[in-house]
């Protein structure tokens, strides 16, 4: 979004106490995060199996009403977990072999992959909270790592001679 301030224009002078600005262009930085991207048979290995972070794949079709209901939720999750998980959508009409390979019998179906392996599946148009709970199981949590190190240190200190 670009706003051009006209000569003599003062944006909220009582609130911000700004002097009049002449001809300055202000640009508002917007977060650029793409929604879940499409994946096909050709890009499957590179995007899903070779990913270094967990991957969520939404198996859908354009004619499927529940698929259209869950699509915005998957896009929200892609934005919410940016950098921690990758989200993709696979059109089962265009890539039926992947749906067959992973035993997709009903759509929408969401699969979670980690380390190139299928870890979990969620079938149907479920609430956002259900998908979040499923995703959270497969994210590496620094809290859990720190907590286990803390417990290890406590046990180690107990065994030390006084």
pLDDT tens per residue, range 88-103: 999 999 999 999 999 9
**Residue pair 59/74 in contact by the 8 Å Cβ criterion:** no
Is the full-model pTM beyond 0.95? Answer: no
Say whether pLDDT at 81 is over 80. Answer: yes
Coil, strand, or helix at residue 114? Answer: strand
Catalytic residue (one of 26, 64, 87, 150): 64
pLDDT at 85 over 90: yes
pLDDT for the residue numbered 140? 81
The residue from 26, 67, 150, 151 that is catalytic is 67
Per the prediction, the chain carries an average pLDDT of: 79
Question: Can you list the positions of beta strands (E) in the chain?
Answer: 2-4, 25-27, 37-38, 55-60, 86-91, 109-114, 117-123
Tell me if residue 87 is catalytic.
no
Q: What is the pLDDT of residue 65?
A: 96
Q: Which domains does the chain have, with CATH numbers?
A: 1-30 (no CATH), 37-146 (3.40.30.10)
Residues 30-35, mean pLDDT to the nearest whole number: 55
Highest mean pLDDT among 77-81, 141-145, 157-161: 77-81
Residue 151 annotated as catalytic? no
Three-class SS state of 142:
helix
More confident residue, 101 or 143: 101
Q: What is the mean pLDDT of residues 134-153?
A: 63
The pLDDT tens digits for 110-129 are: 999 999 999 999 999 999 99
């Amino acid at each position: 979004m670009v706003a051009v301030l006209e000569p003599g224009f003062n944006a909220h002078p009582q609130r911000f106490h700004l002097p009049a600005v002449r001809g300055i262009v202000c640009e508002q930085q917007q977060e650029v995060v793409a929604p879940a991207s499409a994946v096909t048979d050709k890009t499957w290995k590179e995007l899903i199996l070779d990913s270094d972070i967990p991957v969520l794949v939404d198996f859908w079709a354009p004619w499927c009403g529940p698929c259209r209901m869950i699509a915005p939720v998957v896009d929200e999750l892609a934005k919410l977990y940016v950098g921690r998980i990758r989200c993709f959508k696979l059109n089962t009409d265009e890539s039926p072999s992947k749906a067959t390979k992973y035993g997709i019998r009903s759509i929408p179906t969401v699969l979670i992959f980690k380390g190139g392996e299928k870890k979990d599946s969620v079938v149907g148009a479920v609430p956002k909270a259900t998908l979040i709970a499923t995703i959270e199981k497969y994210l590496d949590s620094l809290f859990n790592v720190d907590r286990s190190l803390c417990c290890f240190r406590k046990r180690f200190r107990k065994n030390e001679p006084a």
